[in-house]
Amino acid sequence: MQRRKFILSLAGFALIATRAANSQQAAKLPVVGFLVAGTQASHGVWVAAFAQRLAELGWTEGRNVKIEYRWAAGDAQRMTEFAAEFVHQKVDVIVTSAYGVIAAKQATSAIPIVFAAYSDPVASGLVESLARPGGNVTGLTVQPSDLNSKRLELLREIIPNVRRVAALVNTSSSGASDQLIGIRAAASALNLEISIVEIRTAEDIEPALASIKGRTDALYVFSEPLTNANRYQIIKVTTASKIPTLFGFREFVDAGGLMSYGPNFVDLFKRAAELTDKILHGAKPAELPVQEPVRFDFVINLKAARALGLKISETILARADEVIE
């Protein structure tokens, strides 16, 4: 009888221990803190691409990983607060883009940080080099300054008589100074007159656009979280003012803009998931090279072109990766 009671007691203890271990395991799921620089409307598709790719790599939400999302809507202060919150929670990895990278790096030098899209991490001091980041940060650079000339060349092909170009730039965004240098140099090389229209908040956008009405042949929008989150407003105003628009990525063209040329952000966020997978498996950001874009999209909106009275040649249309009717 005593032996039976002893065995039952052992079984009971084993069951309790198993449940405790399972509970502990559930409580210790690795946590990915996703600091989204924009909104669900502006970044939702990219974030979904990240989550889908992470799932394809074996990370199932709620089973073996937890993803915490914070949507900063282009607000630098909110990004700083959310980054501090993730550090307080001691998440295992912080994933972000744009200014969120700076906010995360300022908040921690220990938690791994993966950026899905950032301009120049070397010039910003985030990494020692692209090949060997050397710290707690790695990810994918979009190198916007290298693309200014290409975008303006495409704009000139679509609008041969373009002479004056206004550039809408959020001067509080990361990489803004480098972007301004790149835009001015590219415009000068193409003999275009460039005027910089500065914004810092969403409230600056409407008066900024009103100031260029009738004074420019086209608008080049520096694509970053603030302009992305307010792209429908930008396009509504420029369409009403008959101003052709040039953007850094295709989501603006989906929203009604004229044209875009730039990295495929869905692909970038998927590749950020691959870097996150490696870190969750024990890799160190210091040893994971910063990657560059491999897919670029040239997208034209024919409906927008017709509304502007522009006729785009078949040669240009044939070169586009996508033509929106």
pTM for the full predicted model? 0.80
Query: Which residues contact residue 298 at a Cβ distance below 8 angstroms, ignoring those fewer than 6 apart?
Result: 154, 259, 260, 261, 319, 320, 321, 322
- 7: pLDDT confidence band, cut at 50, 70 and 90? very low
In a domain, 237, yes or no: yes
Domain identity same for 111 and 256: no
- Domain of 87? 24-143+265-295
Domain identity same for 226 and 236: yes
In a domain, 10, yes or no: no
Closest by CA to 228, choosing from 49, 71, 78, is 71
For residues 226 and 39, what is the distance between their CA atoms, to the nearest angstrom? Answer: 10
Domain identity same for 168 and 310: yes
The predicted-structure confidence for 122-161, as pLDDT tens digits, reads as follows: 988 999 999 999 999 999 998 755 689 999 999 999 999 9
In a domain, 11, yes or no: no
Domain identity same for 54 and 88: yes
Element (H, E) at 31: strand 31-36
State what percent of residues in the chain have pLDDT above 90: 77
Domain identity same for 161 and 124: no
Query: How far lies 213's CA from each of 96, 149, 219, in Å?
Result: 35, 24, 10
Which phi and psi (to 5°) does residue 69 adopt? -105, 140
- pLDDT score recorded for residue 27: 57
Token pair, residue 228, equals 């992305």
* More confident: 98 or 7: 98
Query: Which residue's structure tokens are 């996508």?
Result: 322
The predicted-structure confidence for 310-321, as pLDDT tens digits, reads as follows: 999 999 999 999
In a domain, 15, yes or no: no
Please check whether residue 316 is in contact with residue 301, taking contact to mean a CB–CB distance below 8 angstroms.
no
Domain identity same for 247 and 230: yes
Side chain identity at residue 256, one-letter code: G
- pLDDT score recorded for residue 75: 87
Token pair, residue 3, equals 């032996």
Mean pLDDT of 190-199: 96
- pLDDT score recorded for residue 191: 95
The predicted-structure confidence for 208-220, as pLDDT tens digits, reads as follows: 999 999 999 999 9
The predicted-structure confidence for 215-243, as pLDDT tens digits, reads as follows: 999 999 998 888 988 999 999 999 999 99
In a domain, 18, yes or no: no
CB atoms within 10 A of CB 8: 10
Mean pLDDT of 183-193: 94
In a domain, 17, yes or no: no
Q: Which SS3 state, helix, strand or coil, does residue 179 take?
A: helix
Domain identity same for 160 and 43: no
The predicted-structure confidence for 16-53, as pLDDT tens digits, reads as follows: 444 544 444 445 899 999 999 988 988 999 999 999 99
Domain identity same for 197 and 314: yes
**How many domains would you assign to the chain?**
2
Query: How far lies 204's CA from each of 165, 210, 230, in Å?
Result: 19, 10, 11
pLDDT at position 6 over 70 = no
The Cα angle at residue 185 between residues 179 and 189, in degrees rounded to 5: 145
* More confident: 7 or 282: 282
> Looking at beta carbons, which pairs linking 214-217 to residues 24 or more positions away fall under 8 Å?
214/241, 215/164, 215/166, 216/164, 216/165, 216/166, 216/243, 217/159, 217/161, 217/162, 217/163, 217/164, 217/165, 217/244
Here the CATH number for the domain that contains residue 154 is 3.40.50.2300
By DSSP bridging, strand 31-36 and strand 93-96 are parallel
Average pLDDT over the chain, rounded to an integer: 90
In a domain, 4, yes or no: no
Domain identity same for 161 and 234: yes
Domain identity same for 167 and 315: yes
Domain identity same for 181 and 105: no
Domain identity same for 182 and 237: yes
In a domain, 13, yes or no: no
